[in-house]
Amino acid sequence: MSGASTTTTATEHSDGPLKRFLTRPEAPALIFLAALVVVLSVVADGFLGASNFEGILSQVVVIGIIALAVNQVVLSGEIDISTGSMLGLCAMASGTVAVAGGGLLFTLLAGVAVGALAGAVNGFLVTVARIPAIIVTLGMLYALRGVLLLVTGGTWVTGVPAEARVLGIGSVFGVSLPIIVLFALFIVMELVNRHSDWGRNVLAVGGNRRAAMLAGLPSRRVRFWAFVLVGAAVGIASVIYIGRAGSVQTNAGTGLELQVIAAVVIGGTSIAGGRGSTLAALTGAVLIGVILNGMVLLGIPGVWQDAVLGALILLAVSTDVLRRKLLGDKA
């Protein structure tokens, strides 16, 4: 997590660092995360330890990577809830290639290609056929799962060979590789958002589409690539998924789409578009990971876990109200 805060946009404004921090979209989530970490360190044995932190992070890698990309879609004023089925399809593709002996490179290529293709379909239907994104991606949620079942006939992929699992279970200098991938992608996205025209245009298009069009921004192209990016990210995530799981089932990724959206919006990216940050998506994903982990450590019975998760999500987003109070109701 410390990696995250150092690589964050060094805010260039000088006045009132606290107030500046509070105006950042991810501020409430970060504050809540910090509070939660403190509480859990005290009450939950085994929470405060490098291996547990590493465990939490590796569990959120798949959600985190996809959230980083979905974050862009949400920033551009759209939404993507097809990622669950997309992950299933990509994992099946990359898993099949891996089992066939494709090695890491082709495994990755297969996942990314399938994902990008699915993402491009989403993007095409939203920007060219002009169907609302929530419907497109809802339809794709059904359709992609259907494709997956049709193509595989319900067989699972098992026994993914070790060389293709590196991204999921390998480690470099003692740090597990999936975490490195997550943070590398975080930094890439942060740079894209800060320094590429596309990154800035995403914010503009999401903030005010009409104005963006009047300013001559290619609003459709900007949004199209955001959807493709989600596909590519799901492709990368799928390789981590098969790496971690070692096999793929036809129901892989079920329900993932809502967790990803939850991560993005809990982190502080506005569902209305135009407001948010890369760090928000990451924070949201980590927050969910910490909550889930904390519940197991505290021995909260399985039946009550959803209730606690939901309540904590509400509490986390309510922190935003506190922030608005502190900032005097503006912003």
Judged by CB, which is closer to another protein: 13, or 173? Answer: 13
Burial (Cβ within 10 Å: 0-12, 13-18, ≥19) of residue 211: exposed
Distance from C-alpha of 24 to C-alpha of 308, rounded to nearest angstrom: 27
For another protein, what does the binding mask look like between residues 140 and 169, x meaning CB under 8 A? xxxxxxxx-xx-xxxxx-xx---------x
120 contacts 231 by C-beta, under 8 angstroms: yes
CB 118 within 8 A of CB 58: no
* Residues between 229 and 288 with contacts to another protein, criterion CB under 8 A: 241, 244-252, 254-255, 258, 261-262, 265-266, 270-272, 274-275
Looking at the chain, which runs of residues are DSSP E strands?
A: 171-172, 175-176
What is the rounded CA–CA span in Å between residue 81 and residue 202? 19
Which is nearer to another protein, 236 or 245 (by Cβ)? 245
Residue 4 in the binding site for another protein (CB under 8 A): no
Give the one residue of 19, 34, 45, 172 binding another protein; rule: CB under 8 A. 45
Dihedral, 185, 244, 45, 64 alpha carbons, nearest 10: 30
Q: CB 58 → another protein: shortest distance, Å?
A: 9
Encoded one letter per residue, x for contact with another protein by CB under 8 A and - for no contact, window 205-224 reads --xx-xxxxxxxx-------
Minimal distance in Å, beta carbon 304 to another protein?
Answer: 4
Residue numbers 64-103 binding another protein by CB under 8 A: none
Q: What's the closest the beta carbon of residue 236 comes to another protein, in angstroms?
A: 16
Q: Which of 38, 43, 48, 134 binds another protein (CB under 8 A)?
A: 134
167 token code pair: 């991204």
Integer Cα distance of 229 and 119 in angstroms: 7
CB of 131 to another protein, least distance (A): 5
For 95, half-sphere exposure in the C-beta direction (CA atoms, 13 angstrom radius) is 28
